[in-house]
Amino acid sequence: MKTTAFTEKHIALGAKMVPFAGYNMPVEYVGINEEHNHVRNGVGVFDVSHMGEIWVKGPNALPFLQYTTSNDVSVLVPGKVQYSCFPNGKGGIVDDLLVYCIDNVTYLLVVNASNVDKDYAHLAAIAPKFSITPGKELYNASDEICQLAVQGPLALKAMQKICDKKVTDMEYYTFQKLNIAGIDDAIFSTTGYTGSGGCEIYVANEDADKLWNAVFEAGKEFDIKPIGLGARDTLRLEMGFCLYGNDIDDTTSPIEAGLGWITKFSEAKGDFIDKEYMLKQKSEGVTRKLVGFELVDKGIPRHGYPVCDVNGTEIGVVTSGTMGPAIKKPVGMAYVAPGFSKTGSEIFIKVRDRLLKAVVVKTPFYKPLQ
């Protein structure tokens, strides 16, 4: 099992460690609900070093990414980040990812931990068609980079203390290269998976200790806490964010998953993998749609539970579900037949032999107080 540059720190802090995506990772420290609400109201730190980082460089980087991703990379300028996915050529999704535009010939792709090898193999098979050499212009740096996600409404205020440039006014989905706690060329991005604001910080593994110590020292006055992956999952679910392997996978298309907003068919975008298939889905409709729902009856929805109509006929399946710690409601996401996808539609979640009433609602489930 792999470890991250921070694994020993999690163990020393008494975290409950579990295998995740081939890594020994902290699932919780003091409890998922407490950690979840700490991020919603203050600032918490996630070790997300298990995520993958793949560089794409050179004059053909842009056309290569335009073909292999669903979004329009040409709209990016240096300092901007874009959410996208890799269509798999069979109507499904290889992975969802972030695209960082370093400059017009240099891009950093941040991919899911469990998919790093699959993603790299997928890209490496296509790269030669664009005169991109795997191991050279296409480079997997995942084992060289560590990453901390500092999340919550107080995160940027705390991190400003160790940054050499202003970060508190950065827009969502932007990044800077700066000096953090004496570490040059750290990547500081205002992205995240919690919906409560914050940043993600990337440095080389050899700078891990320096980063960890500086982050927690800077956050001390804000009651900063380490947070496990359990709360990361409940936080993202309260926002209605998709999790690869649950809500999207090799069998789900971006159109079915409600990711049409990252699937562009513009002239600037040009041709890309599965373009015609997804255009057809967009024009003719799909056989299932990913929706958010809230349970009306008492219970907790879980991944894999059947979704039924009032007569008990199966119409879909739950992909993610939980009791939202901040919203204090049982919520989830599910693929359902299109006729049941409108907001307000009544559906039923089958738990053992019981049908629990639920209603389709708009996401996000959690709406921060303004």
Q: Which strands, in side-by-side order, build the sheet including 93-103?
A: 81-87, 93-103, 106-111, 52-57, 138-140
Q: Which of 223, 238, 253 is the last residue of a domain?
A: 238
Please give the backbone phi and psi of residue 182, each rounded to the nearest 5 degrees, phi first: 85, 0
Residues 43 and 179 in one domain: yes
Residues in the chain: 370
Is 343 a domain residue? yes
10-to-23, 33, 51 alpha-carbon distances in Å: 13, 18, 17
Q: What is the largest CA-CA distance in the chain?
A: 63
In this prediction, the residues of the chain whose per-residue pLDDT falls under 70 are 369-370
Residues 224 and 155 in one domain: yes
Is 258 a domain residue? no
Residues 43 and 150 in one domain: yes
Contact indicator for 240, 364 with CB cutoff of 8 Å = yes
Residues 38 and 160 in one domain: yes
Residues 39 and 156 in one domain: yes
Mapping DSSP onto H, E and C, the string for the chain reads CECCCCHHHHHHCCCEEEEECCEEEEEECCCHHHHHHHHHHCCEEEECCCCEEEEEECCCHHHHHHHHCCCCHHHCCCCEEEEEEEECCCCCEEEEEEEEEEECCEEEEEECHHHHHHHHHHHHHHHHHHCCCECCCEEECHHHEEEEEEECCCHHHHHHHHECCCCCCCCCCEEEEEEECCEEEEEEECCCCCCCCEEEEEEEHHHHHHHHHHHHHHCHHHCCEECCHHHHHHHHHHCCCCCECCCECCCCCCCCCCCHHHCCCCCCCCCCCCHHHHHHHHHHCCCCEEEEEEECCCCCCCCCCEEECCCCCEEEEEEEEEEECCCCEEEEEEEECHHHCCCCCEEEEEECCEEEEEEEECCCCCCCCC
Q: Which of 175, 210, 238 is the last residue of a domain?
A: 238
Residues 31 and 157 in one domain: yes
Residues 26 and 163 in one domain: yes
**pLDDT single digits (tens) 73-113:** 999 999 999 999 999 999 999 999 999 999 999 999 999 99
**What integer pLDDT is reported at residue 370 of this predicted model?**
45
Residues 223 and 333 in one domain: no
Residues 294 and 234 in one domain: no
Is 20 a domain residue? yes
- Report the CATH number at residue 317: 2.40.30.110
Residues 150 and 234 in one domain: yes
Please give the backbone phi and psi of residue 64, each rounded to the nearest 5 degrees, phi first: -65, -45
Is 338 a domain residue? yes
Residue-range definition of the domain harbouring residue 316 = 287-370
Residues 202 and 327 in one domain: no
**What integer pLDDT is reported at residue 368 of this predicted model?**
77
Is 135 a domain residue? no
Is 102 a domain residue? no
Rounded to two decimals, what is the model's pTM?
Answer: 0.96
Q: Which of 221, 238, 255 is the last residue of a domain?
A: 238
Give 284's contacts (C-beta < 8 A, 6+ positions apart).
none
Is 117 a domain residue? no
Q: Of the candidates 224, 218, 227, 178, which has an alpha carbon nearest to the alpha carbon of residue 201?
A: 178
Is 36 a domain residue? yes
Q: Of the candidates 207, 226, 112, 120, which has an alpha carbon nearest to the alpha carbon of residue 162?
A: 207
- Report the CATH number at residue 30: 3.30.1360.120
Residues 38 and 151 in one domain: yes
Domains: count for the chain: 2
Q: Are strands 16-20 and 81-87 parallel, antiparallel or unpaired?
A: unpaired
Q: Of the candidates 59, 86, 60, 82, which has an alpha carbon nearest to the alpha carbon of residue 72?
A: 82
Burial class of residue 247 (count of CB atoms within 10 Å of its CB; 0-12, 13-18, 19+): buried
**pLDDT single digits (tens) 172-188:** 999 999 999 999 999 99
CA–CA separation, 148 and 219 (whole Å):
13
